[in-house]
Every structure is written in structure tokens, then in C-alpha cells.
Amino acid sequence: MAVNEPIKVAIADDHKIFRDGIKMALSGKDYLRIIWEAEDGKDLVHKMKIKLPDVLLMDIRMPEMDGVNAISLLRKEYEQVKIIVLTMYDDQEMISKMMEMGANAYLTKTTDPEEIYNAILTCMNDDFYFNDLVNKAVMMKLQSKKSVRQYYPNPIKMSEKELKILKLIAEDKTTEEISKEVFLSPRTIETIRQNMKTKVGAKTIAGLVMYAMRNKLID
């Protein structure tokens, strides 16, 4: 994306009133442009094939194809698109499930428009936006003994540099902030982050952090 090119945003929600409200709330924001809206999962998949957004604001409950099935399909085809779940549901199991499946952020429909805007910018700059909702769901998942046994039973060794970066990621530091603390370029930080995900078999940053905490690599 060019430096001065606006962030292309799409909205997938089966309630027109809500779509209109989001469009109005974001219409005055700098660097954003709403490129299309979808009224159900089928419409969403069709429009993704026509024009890709940079960020997709997506509800979980939609006709034709719900958000859970949609995110599974989209992550296989459009890895570069940032997916922000924007829904009525704040169930912790659903939150952790959506983040592990590849969502970049999870917000409820009561979220202030300024936070939605901030989440969009953060996801574009640093891939993920972690709020209190997501952090709490991740911690609840970690406390489940069953999930500790089910995932990553054998800890993988990390270098001192990787552990330092992992700790900073868990502290919700941005790529730029991590870069300054460890004296490496942002591109190098991104490469190390991707290598760590590959090493532990995690698909997302949320999965990487959960692996590290489960295996007590970080506090």
C-alpha cells in the first residue's frame, strides 16, 4: 500500500442499520475509505474475489455463512487481509477461538468508534490489536488444564533474543517499540516473529503468546 493511499475497509454484517452507523462513524476519519459492504457470508466471499480490502470488519452471526466458517475460508485465501471481528457476542471461548483461527482483533458492537478506528490503524501497523476482552479470553484459555495438555506438549527452545522479543510482544509493544528496545530493524523483528510462529506451529500472534505462557517461557 502506498504511503498516502487510504486504508481500504470493508464491512460484513447482516444489519443495514449497523453498517450505516459504522460507515457514518468512520466517514470523517483520515486515511480510511469504505470500499464495499456485504449483507451475509455468501455476499462477503463473492465481494472478496472482486476487490480485496486491507481491513475487514466482520460480524460472527450472518446468514448463508457465519463468521466462524468465513474466517476459516478467508485465512486460506487472503492471508494479508486484516480481519476485525465486530459483534454482539463477548463469549470468552468464542473470542479465543476466533483469535486462534486468525482474527487480528475482536471488538463488540458497543465499542466506541474511536477504538474501532484505533484498532484498524493498529492492525495495519502491527498485525494485531489486543484489548481487555482478548487479553482476558487468552488468560482464561491458559488456565484450562485441558488446553495445556492438548496444545504444545513439548516446549521448544528459544534463543535469548527470541525470548526478549516474545516478552515484548506479550506486553503489547508495537513493532517499532520492539525495534528500538532490541536494536534491530522493524523488518528483522517481523522476520523473527514469523520464524517463532513457524517454530512452535502457531498460526497467529495470539497462538504464539499462548504457547509461550503455557510453557512458562514468559511470565
Domain ranges of the chain: 7-139, 145-214
CATH number for the region 145-214 comes to 1.10.10.10
pTM of the model: 0.70
Going from the C-alpha of 191 to that of each of 188, 194, 219, the distances in angstroms are 5, 5, 23
> How confident is the model at residue 201, as a pLDDT?
77
Residues 6+ apart with CB under 8 A from 88: 59, 61, 108, 109
> How confident is the model at residue 143, as a pLDDT?
62
User: In the predicted model, what is the mean pLDDT of the chain?
Assistant: 85
DSSP string, 106-168: EEETTS-HHHHHHHHHHHHHHS----HHHHHHHHHHHT-HHHHHHS--S-----HHHHHHHHH
> How confident is the model at residue 105, as a pLDDT?
92
pLDDT tens profile 29-76: 888 999 999 999 889 999 999 999 999 999 998 888 887 888 888 988
Using CB atoms within 10 A of its CB, is residue 194 exposed (0-12), middle (13-18) or buried (19+)?
exposed
Going from the C-alpha of 201 to that of each of 26, 155, 157, 195, 219, the distances in angstroms are 36, 11, 13, 10, 20
Amino acid at 67: G
Would you say 61 and 89 are in contact if contact means Cβ atoms under 8 Å apart? yes
pLDDT tens profile 141-158: 666 644 444 444 456 778
Q: Quick one: average pLDDT of 174-203?
A: 86
Euclidean distance between CA atoms 178 and 174, whole angstroms = 6
Question: Which overall architecture, per CATH, does domain 7-139 show?
Answer: 3-Layer(aba) Sandwich (3.40)
Helix (H, G, I), strand (E, B) or coil at 212: helix
Are the folds of 7-139 and 145-214 the same?
no
